[in-house]
Amino acid sequence: MKKWTKRDATSKTTASPAAVNNELRASQSSITTLDRDQLPADVVDQARLETYALHRVYVVDKWGTGEQTSAADAAVLPRAWKAATYQTYSGGWLPGVSGTTITLTGFKGGHLFLEWTGNAYVFGAMADGASQTHPGTPRHMRLRILVSGVVLAERRGPAYHESFRIFGTGVFPSGDLSVQLQWRLVEPGSDDPIETNNVGNNNVVQGHLYSQKYFAIGRFR
């Protein structure tokens, strides 16, 4: 079926953007439905958007304090981060922010994209053994994202003092999604140099995370 639009005649000029948009909207309306500009002002409100939206974005510019607190040690040198030390971390996966599980509410089922970014520090000197009879132990800040207990993404992570970005995608059923962002340092070895002088605050930092934030997009069916 033909659709006709009306616009003022022009002389030796190109068509205006409004004229092109009018024709496009007329064609769209005949095929699908009214677009946003053609709907009454009160039709598209916050409640309707949440109910009928085809995608939803979750953004946190600073997750908690932004710093790793699950193995924080206050007994470090004054110029050091309250970071993971041998006294507070002995291995295993820990949350980026202590005791924090992220909940993505209102997920309606479909495709999820999730990204975790920040900065990581690993004390590279710990790669050297205390004696020359053992090889060095590479140090890395391993990172992973879990959604509803399933690994969405995992990477070896930084080895020195670097920014990081880890992301993954997957398809999940409807309902609130539980997300965990976790880190894990290479476990202490038998030949690691460890500070044993307990006079004052001088525990040696192993690794740290800071400036953490996350971003997620749900694209619904």
Same domain, 149 and 119: yes
DSSP letters along the chain, please? Answer: ----------SSSPPPHHHHHHHHHHHHHHHS---GGGS-TTTS-HHHHHHH-SEEEEEESS-TTSS--TT--SSB-TTS-S-EETTT--SS-EESSTT--EEETT--SEEEEEEEEEEEEE-GGGGS-SSTTS------EEEEEEETTEEEEEE---SSEEEEEEEEEEEE-SSPEEEEEEEEEPPPPTT-------SSS-BPEEEEEEEEEEEEEEEE-
* Nearest partner of 90 among 163, 165, 192, judged by Cα: 192
CA distance linking residue 75 with residue 87, whole number of Å: 9
Overall number of domains in the chain: 2
Token couple for 22: 């009018």
pTM score > 0.95 for this model?
no
Shared-domain flag, residues 33 and 102: no
Structural tokens at position 198: 């307990």
- In a shared domain, residues 35 and 74: no
Q: Which amino acid is at 207?
A: G
| Radius of gyration from C-alpha coordinates of the chain | 27
| Predicted pLDDT at 169 | 93
The size of the chain, in residues, is 221
Residue 168, pLDDT score: 93
pLDDT at 38: 64
Question: What whole-number distance in Å separates Cα of residue 95 and Cα of residue 70?
Answer: 6
- 122 & 177 share domain: yes
- Pair 25, 99 in one domain: no
List the beta bridge partners of residue 177: 104
Mean pLDDT split into 10-residue runs, the chain, 221 residues? 57 65 64 61 69 79 79 84 85 81 87 93 73 67 92 90 92 91 81 61 84 89 64
Look at residue 72 and tell me if it is in a domain. Answer: yes
Query: Is the same domain home to 167 and 78?
Result: yes
Are 92 and 121 members of one domain?
yes
181 and 90 housed in the same domain: yes
Structure tokens given for 177: 């999604």
What is the pLDDT at residue 17? Answer: 65
Identify the pLDDT of residue 117. Answer: 92
Note down the domain range covering 201. Answer: 55-220
| Dist CA 10 CA 8 (whole Å) | 6
Q: Clarify whether residues 31 and 71 are in a common domain.
A: no
